[in-house]
Amino acid sequence: MEQLDVAHWLTSPAGQALLATMPAHNVADAFKLSTELRERGLTPEQSSALLTQTRLRDAARAKFGERATRMFFTDAGLQQSTRASVARQHASVFQRAGVREVLDFGCGIGADSQAFTDAGLTALGVERDPVTAHFAQANAGCAVVPTDGYALLGSYESREGLWLDPARRDARGKRISHPEHWQPALSDAIALAREFRVTGIKLGPGIRWADLPADAFVDWVSVDGDLVEAVAWFGTRDPGRGATILTEKPRREEGDDAATSATGNLVGYYRTWRGDPSQSAASLPARPLDAYLYEPDPALMRAGGLDQVCSDFDLAPISPGLAYLSGDAVASPLLARFKILDVLPLHAKTVAAELRKRGVVRAEIKKRGTDIDPALFRKQLKLHKNAGDGAATVILTRILGEHRAIVAEREGW
């Protein structure tokens, strides 16, 4: 059977009924299960497809939750797909801009189109790979055209909303760092954005500021402390940079009035720069360690928001060029907060003695501004020999240029 024929069978009532009876993915049972499926009259391609979908659905739960059990995936499509909480955030941006129709240019397995449809928008997906396109239509509940996006543009009349996720990996799966080598190239994507009222272009979160379009608002997005993407938005805000902080866990910071949103996942938003997003901001001077240490969310750091957040909360870097901040107690979803218990020379024996005295048997090891291996440092602490049931965070870093170990208690997320 051809791959597309197998995909059609898999999404048919018969294929879905068989999928529903498949046990959880287990590598050890794969051969036995494949044999049983063949004995029931399935072709090798059908048996393989069932096993593959079971494996991918199990892996997809991290991105899509229980909904993954009703979705269809390819390996590459799952790897490159937008997680559900982030896709809902994309949909909310289009909604706030008054967009009703969105062209999902290069939709993959349809994660964003699914969110657009869920939000009441009319979505049309475009995907070159016919198998992926078929799965996307099944997932998103909207039309998906199996063609090149540019081939469709001539007949697509609406110019309201465009979502564009350029391919940033080559045929071997290797990440492509230069934006002009993406498919489409970033310059071509920007030119296409000019044809629509509102456009979002998904970027790699590590993109250089110098490569950012001067007239875009570029938003870095994190989920529970993991930086997942940057998006260049056109037609939604004045040019600048910002950080959007999402969560997939129950979390509400004291004093945080923006802990939930229409998406149910937004815990914080911060505009970090006004004007051309490719420009750099000035740096604030460091000052001595105060009562609390703060680790900014990675989206805030990549968006260049450290100086602004220091000004807003009266914080300062603990060493020049370091993204650990210090000050009095503040509560913000932008900042992980640690109460300082002690500051020690950065020597494993010294830190081990202090943790032993405190009865610490569980330690979170963090580092910034030092090349020490946290795993090796943990072994040197020999926590398993300590008496007690205490926990602490050990932060290996620099304070005003001097290497130090900070023993702290995590209070914020």
Lowest mean pLDDT among 218-232, 237-251, 342-356, 359-373: 237-251
Q: Is 298 helix (H, G, I), strand (E, B) or coil?
A: helix
The 10s digit of each residue's pLDDT in 230-244 is 999 999 999 999 999
Torsion of CA 339, 340, 346, 351, to 10 degrees: -90
Closest C-alpha among 82, 118, 116 to residue 99: 116
Per-residue pLDDT for 345 more than 80? yes
Amino acid (one-letter) located at 179: P
- Mean pLDDT along residues 345-363: 97
The 10s digit of each residue's pLDDT in 305-325 is 998 899 999 999 999 989 999
Per-residue pLDDT for 259 more than 80? no
- Mean pLDDT along residues 11-37: 87
Predicted local distance difference test score (pLDDT) of residue 207:
95
**How many whole angstroms separate alpha carbon 260 and alpha carbon 263?**
8
Which fold does the domain 80-274 belong to in CATH?
Rossmann fold (3.40.50)
Predicted local distance difference test score (pLDDT) of residue 27:
77
Predicted local distance difference test score (pLDDT) of residue 264:
57
Paired tokens of 372: 């020490």
- Mean pLDDT along residues 214-227: 96
Count CA within 13 A, CB hemisphere, residue 405: 24
The 10s digit of each residue's pLDDT in 24-35 is 888 778 778 888
Lowest mean pLDDT among 203-207, 253-257, 386-390: 253-257
The 10s digit of each residue's pLDDT in 64-107 is 999 999 999 999 999 999 999 999 999 999 999 999 999 999 99
The 10s digit of each residue's pLDDT in 146-195 is 998 888 888 888 999 999 999 888 878 888 989 999 999 999 999 999 99
Confidence of residue 252 (pLDDT cuts 50, 70, 90): very low
Instruction: Write out 352-409 in H/E/C secondary structure.
Output: HHHHHHHCEEEEEEEECCCCCCHHHHHHHHCHHHCCCCEEEEEEEEEECCEEEEEEEE
